[in-house]
Amino acid sequence: MKAKVVYVKGLQFVGESETGHAIVMDGNREFGGEDTGPRPMELLLLGLGGCTGMDVVSILKKKKQELEGLEIVIEGKKAEEHPKRFTDITIEFRLKGKNLSEEAVKRAVELSMEKYCSVKATLEGKTNVSFKYSIISD
């Protein structure tokens, strides 16, 4: 897997994935950026959410669950000192669907977090990642 990041101006960069998809990254105005895109650390949280979300949806589909919606809220707490890495990340899965089995949801989330999500696995040993889920009924 490869990616390319190209400097544009100020603190703005454009990242392009091996698959040809691009995203603008930028910094805060107070540090010389123009706030035209997410910060790299925000992208890390988004990548984690996308990774585990794809796992959970795939697993629930295999379990024939009628998932109608999934919202994943990811919150990261950063260290005070440089390099100001994430020390703790909390992931909250909010699932909505018809007759979702609590057992199936619990298992899907656990499998993603413990076995399949490569982004979470990359963070292990450096960042405490915790998770919880809730099933929202109509």
User: 33-61 pLDDT, tens per residue?
Assistant: 999 999 999 999 999 999 999 999 999 99
Average pLDDT value over all residues in the chain:
97
How many Å apart are CA 49 and CA 99, to the nearest integer? Answer: 24
C-alpha triplet 41, 69, 134: angle, nearest 5° = 75
The domain made up of 40-136 has a fold known as GMP Synthetase; Chain A, domain 3 (3.30.300)
CATH code of the domain made up of 1-38: 2.20.25.10
For residue 81 the two structure tokens come to: 């000192």
pLDDT score at 56: 98
How many Å apart are CA 89 and CA 77, to the nearest integer? Answer: 6
Domain boundaries, the chain: 1-38, 40-136
Across 74-78, average pLDDT:
98
User: 97-118 pLDDT, tens per residue?
Assistant: 999 999 999 999 999 999 999 9
Whether the predicted pLDDT of 138 surpasses 70: no
Query: pLDDT band for position 137 (50/70/90)?
Result: confident
Q: How far apart are the first and last CA of the chain?
A: 41
Between the alpha carbon of residue 102 and those of residues 29, 33, 48, 96, the distances in Å are 45, 45, 23, 11
Radius of gyration in angstroms for the set of CA atoms belonging to the chain, rounded to a whole number: 17
pLDDT score at 135: 97
